[in-house]
């Protein structure tokens, strides 16, 4: 009887330990379309890199939409994606692949800092194709997939698929679904207009903050709208224990919450953006409620003196949107001591 190849052994091991999608591509440098400029060379991870393993896991979680509540307003995460499962699943997949390779005497390096573009690697390994929203769509799980990439010096059999084959035909629903028009052409996204990009801590322009609504991490409207995802059933079970936190966190406690509070109430994946990114997003979400967020005035008054100017700017804007005597007094007092010209402008706008 023939012994299975190392590649087949690894694939069988991965699939039998909860890996949903498995592929392998070469360790050639990743470059941009039509250019020879290297994005990243896998040999920066391992000098003797020979292949890149790409795994994917299904992340479609039942959507929780918080009801309007003046007394206890809540925020929401990316539509459909399980932020509670990402980090536990990523760690599990790395352990599964690394453990096997090390047992065979090979080295591996996980792409934990995401220097390798996971989407490019996934397409090159044959796991899916780009949609017009620049999100990877797979045959098995649509676009509800997150990828984990691992570089290894193991002599594995790999594939190299065309990166730019379209699967969308004439469909452009995702372009029309984008709240900000960030997907301005098929396969082209203006990152400075993408809500998901903002919610990692990028400064949100004042004229676009209302588009965030009550999101505190991620967007996903273009994924939710894609017809290829319509018939997919939400995932009910995972091979690991996922983060035991809620999916619609209270907004007001996030404004002044400390590290312990965040750790207890926010999943580990959003926390990768940092406490102040989440805090700022919560402040904007409350500002988008206008006068209905009156109960948030006192905590937002506190963040008017936050050490980061971005948080102070958001706080001033939110108080201006909520309104009231207490908000106005806080803004006038903050203006006396504020030195940052951008924050001062936000305060003037809020008072106006």
Per-residue confidence (pLDDT) for residue 36, from 0 to 100: 66
Residue 39, domain member (yes or no): yes
Is residue 153 exposed (0-12), middle (13-18) or buried (19+ Cβ within 10 Å)?
A: buried
Which of the 8 DSSP states describes residue 137?
A: E
| CB of 61 closer than 8 Å to CB of 85 | yes
Look at residues 119, 134, 152 and tell me which one is the last residue of a structural domain: 152
Per-residue confidence (pLDDT) for residue 78, from 0 to 100: 85
| CB of 100 closer than 8 Å to CB of 10 | yes
Residue 22, domain member (yes or no): yes
**Helix residue ranges, H only, the chain:** 6-15, 86-103, 118-124, 173-177, 195-198, 221-225, 252-256, 259-265, 275-287, 297-303, 309-322, 325-337, 341-351
Q: Which helix (H) or strand (E) holds 258?
A: none
Whether residue 123 sits in one domain with residue 257:
no
3-37 pLDDT tens trace: 679 999 999 999 999 999 999 999 999 987 666 67
Q: At what angle do helices 325-337 and 309-322 cross, to 10 degrees?
A: 150
Q: Sign of the CA dihedral 251, 252, 256, 260?
A: negative
Whether residue 255 sits in one domain with residue 148:
no
| CB of 255 closer than 8 Å to CB of 279 | yes
317-348 pLDDT tens trace: 999 999 999 999 999 999 999 999 999 999 99
Which of the 8 DSSP states describes residue 181?
A: -
Count Cα atoms within 13 angstroms, Cβ side, for 85.
Answer: 23
Q: Token match 């904007």: residue? A: 284
Residue 325, domain member (yes or no): yes
Residue 324, domain member (yes or no): yes
Mean pLDDT of the chain: 93
pLDDT greater than 70 at residue 106: yes
Structure tokens at 181: 């028009």
Neighbours of 149 (CB within 10 A): 28
In which domain, by residue range, is 257 found? 249-351
């Amino acid at each position: 009887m023939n012994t299975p190849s190392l590649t087949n052994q690894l694939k069988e091991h991965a699939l039998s330990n909860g890996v949903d999608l498995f592929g392998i591509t070469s360790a050639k440098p990743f470059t941009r379309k039509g250019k020879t400029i290297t994005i990243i060379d896998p040999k920066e991870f391992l000098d003797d890199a020979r292949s890149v393993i790409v795994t994917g896991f299904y992340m479609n979680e039942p959507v929780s939409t918080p009801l309007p509540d003046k007394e206890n307003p809540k925020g929401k995460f990316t539509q459909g994606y399980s932020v509670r499962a990402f980090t536990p699943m990523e760690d599990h997949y790395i352990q599964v692949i690394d453990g096997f390779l090390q047992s065979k005497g090979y080295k591996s390096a996980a792409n934990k800092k995401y220097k390798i573009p996971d989407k490019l690697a996934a397409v090159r390994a044959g796991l899916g194709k780009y949609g017009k929203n620049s999100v990877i769509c797979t045959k098995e799980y649509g676009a509800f997939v997150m990828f984990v990439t691992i570089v290894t010096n193991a002599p594995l059999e790999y594939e190299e698929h065309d990166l730019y084959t379209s699967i969308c035909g004439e469909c452009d629903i995702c372009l029309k679904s984008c709240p900000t028009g960030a997907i301005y052409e098929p396969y082209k996204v203006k990152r400075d207009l993408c809500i998901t990009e903002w919610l990692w801590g990028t400064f949100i322009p004042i004229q676009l903050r209302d588009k965030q609504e009550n999101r505190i991490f991620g967007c996903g409207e273009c994924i939710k709208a894609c017809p290829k995802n319509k018939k997919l059933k939400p995932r009910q079970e995972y091979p690991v224990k996922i983060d035991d936190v809620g999916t619609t966190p209270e907004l007001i406690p996030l404004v002044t919450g400390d590290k312990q509070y965040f750790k207890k109430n926010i999943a580990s994946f959003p926390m990768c953006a940092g406490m102040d990114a989440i805090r700022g997003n919560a402040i904007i979400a409350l500002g988008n409620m206008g006068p209905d967020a009156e109960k948030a005035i006192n905590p937002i008054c506190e963040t008017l003196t936050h050490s980061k100017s971005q948080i102070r700017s958001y706080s001033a804007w939110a108080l201006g949107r909520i309104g009231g005597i207490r908000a106005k007094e806080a803004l006038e007092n903050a203006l006396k001591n504020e030195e940052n010209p951008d924050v001062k402008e936000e305060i003037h706008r809020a008072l106006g």
